[in-house]
Amino acid sequence: MTMTILGIETSCDETAAAVVRDSREVISSVVYSQVSLHQPYGGVVPEIASRSHVEKLPGVISEAVRRSVLGVQCSDGKSKVADVCQDAPPTTDHRTLNTLADWSTIDAIAVTYGPGLASSLIVGLAAAKGLALRLHKPLIGINHIEAHIHSVFLSAGAPMPEESYPLLALVVSGGHTLLVDVPRPGAYCVIGQTLDDAAGEAFDKAAQLLGLGYPGGPAIDRAARLAAPRQDLKFPQGRVRVGHHLVTCNLRPELCVSFSGLKTSLMVHLRNHPAQGPGDVSAIAASYQEAIVSALAERCDRALRSGNYRCLAVGGGVSLNARLRVRLLEVAEHRHVRLLLAEPKYCGDNAAMIAGLAGTGCGVRGPVALALDATPSLALQ
């Protein structure tokens, strides 16, 4: 029996809704990015994010459902819409509201309930609960990190999930940097992580110091393409000493990173040697990026060497980084595992990964889902 799920995602600064059939077939995907709202502040302002979700989510959901109806009606499969609306927020008025008939193809509503910003999560969760109750559809609570791992299976060329285990997953975004051992579907063991700043945060902070603007990851990626890393400028690669008090549970120190020293080291460098023009900025950006990429690639290499994996799955906004993609491909080839990268449109936050994961049977289901609270520090279990 096919299962068509509406996914809703508002954990940070993207307002997203998507309709996915049978966990992998994206029928519609709408993402409204708030980047331009946060740009003047150089980072996500929770209050602004939350207000914007309240304003945009109804229109984003309507649009995703409307597009899914168009897609479902065409049997050739060519009219499926998986668009990303960046700065063209859908508006909600009486013309864009869905009819009850539009909802008839949706079997369940899935929503991110953590981790993320409390004030942002709450908006999507409240909307999803309201829809589930009003439409008498089941509600499924989804872990955002778990969904980033599932995002690799939304690509057309991806293998079937059941052929990919055991897999090693790297989730790298603005809020998370995790290395996860996934022996079978739905079983997760975090074996490495950042002990302070996430990789995306390290990119964002460096871009600010270099005057490259926000968001920093894409800006550093672009700048770094214009120059080679400077041989005389080596940034620390976030090594974590054995016995570090934050390395607990199943974490392995050799698979953990600490990126806060990297940013300090850039700050000290720029204080002593202010950048001399755009060429110098590019070279410094390339050196800095190399430190982050090398740190991540090295942790993946170590984990692959010590485990028996079939695939390396990589998701999250930072996985858009061109240099990281190249290095991870080298690592995967060297260790004879298949590299599964999320398609660019599913690397950053989106709702297709939420609906997709819900379609695999994962997530919090049944009456308890309706009692879920937004859980900002939800762990991966």
Q: Which residues lie near ligand KG4 (CB under 6 A)? A: 12, 173-175, 200, 203-204, 215-218, 221, 316-318, 320-321, 348-349
Q: How many chain residues interact with Zn ion (CB under 5 A)? A: 2
SS3 249: coil
In whole angstroms, how close is the CB of 155 to ligand KG4 at the nearest point?
A: 16
How many CB atoms sit inside 10 A of residue 261's CB? Answer: 15
In whole angstroms, how close is the CB of 173 to Zn ion at the nearest point?
A: 4
Residue 359 interacts with, from ligand KG4, Zn ion, none (CB under 5-8 Å by kind)? none
Q: Which is nearer to Zn ion, 9 or 301 (CB)?
A: 9
Q: Which is nearer to Zn ion, 49 or 69 (CB)?
A: 49
Taking CA atoms, 191 is separated from 74, 183, 200, 257, in Å, by 45, 12, 19, 11
Residue 89 interacts with, from ligand KG4, Zn ion, none (CB under 5-8 Å by kind)? none
**CA–CA separation, 112 vs 8, rounded Å?**
7
**CA–CA separation, 349 vs 173, rounded Å?**
9
Q: Which is nearer to ligand KG4, 21 or 144 (CB)?
A: 144
In whole angstroms, how close is the CB of 115 to Zn ion at the nearest point?
A: 9
In whole angstroms, how close is the CB of 77 to ligand KG4 at the nearest point?
A: 28
Residue 181 interacts with, from Zn ion, ligand KG4, none (CB under 5-8 Å by kind)? none
E-assigned strands of 144-289?
167-172, 177-182, 189-193
Q: Which is nearer to Zn ion, 25 or 349 (CB)?
A: 349
Residue 200 interacts with, from Zn ion, ligand KG4, none (CB under 5-8 Å by kind)? ligand KG4
- Sorted by sequence, the CB contacts under 8 Å of residue 371 that are 6+ apart come out as none
In whole angstroms, how close is the CB of 229 to Zn ion at the nearest point?
A: 28
Looking at residue 316, the DSSP 8-state letter turns out to be S
Q: Which is nearer to ligand KG4, 127 or 219 (CB)?
A: 219
Residue 215 interacts with, from ligand KG4, Zn ion, none (CB under 5-8 Å by kind)? ligand KG4
In whole angstroms, how close is the CB of 13 to ligand KG4 at the nearest point?
A: 7
8 A C-beta contact, residue 152 and residue 163 = no
Q: Which is nearer to Zn ion, 63 or 349 (CB)?
A: 349
In whole angstroms, how close is the CB of 13 to Zn ion at the nearest point?
A: 10
**CA–CA separation, 19 vs 164, rounded Å?**
24
Q: Which is nearer to ligand KG4, 71 or 215 (CB)?
A: 215
Residue 348 interacts with, from Zn ion, ligand KG4, none (CB under 5-8 Å by kind)? ligand KG4
Among 251, 289, 349, 372, binds Zn ion (CB under 5 A): 349
**CA–CA separation, 83 vs 316, rounded Å?**
18
**CA–CA separation, 144 vs 233, rounded Å?**
36
In whole angstroms, how close is the CB of 221 to ligand KG4 at the nearest point?
A: 4
Q: Which residues of 71-110 are buried (b: 16+ CB within 10 A; e: fewer)?
A: bbeeeeeeebbbebbeeebbebeeeeebeeeebebbbbbb
SS3 91: coil
8 A C-beta contact, residue 374 and residue 121 = yes
Taking CA atoms, 233 is separated from 29, 37, 237, 290, in Å, by 42, 35, 12, 11
Residue 217 interacts with, from Zn ion, ligand KG4, none (CB under 5-8 Å by kind)? ligand KG4
The interface with Zn ion within residues 114-173 (CB under 5 A) comprises 173
Q: Which is nearer to ligand KG4, 161 or 200 (CB)?
A: 200
Q: Which secondary structure element, helix H or strand E, spans residue 341, and what is its range?
A: strand 338-341
| Encoded amino acid at 351, one letter | A
Residue keyed to tokens 């499924």 = 140
Q: Which is nearer to Zn ion, 29 or 282 (CB)?
A: 29
Residue 301 interacts with, from ligand KG4, Zn ion, none (CB under 5-8 Å by kind)? none
Q: Does 375 bind Zn ion (CB under 5 A)?
A: no
In whole angstroms, how close is the CB of 375 to ligand KG4 at the nearest point?
A: 15
Residues of this chain that interact with Zn ion (CB under 5 A) are 173, 349
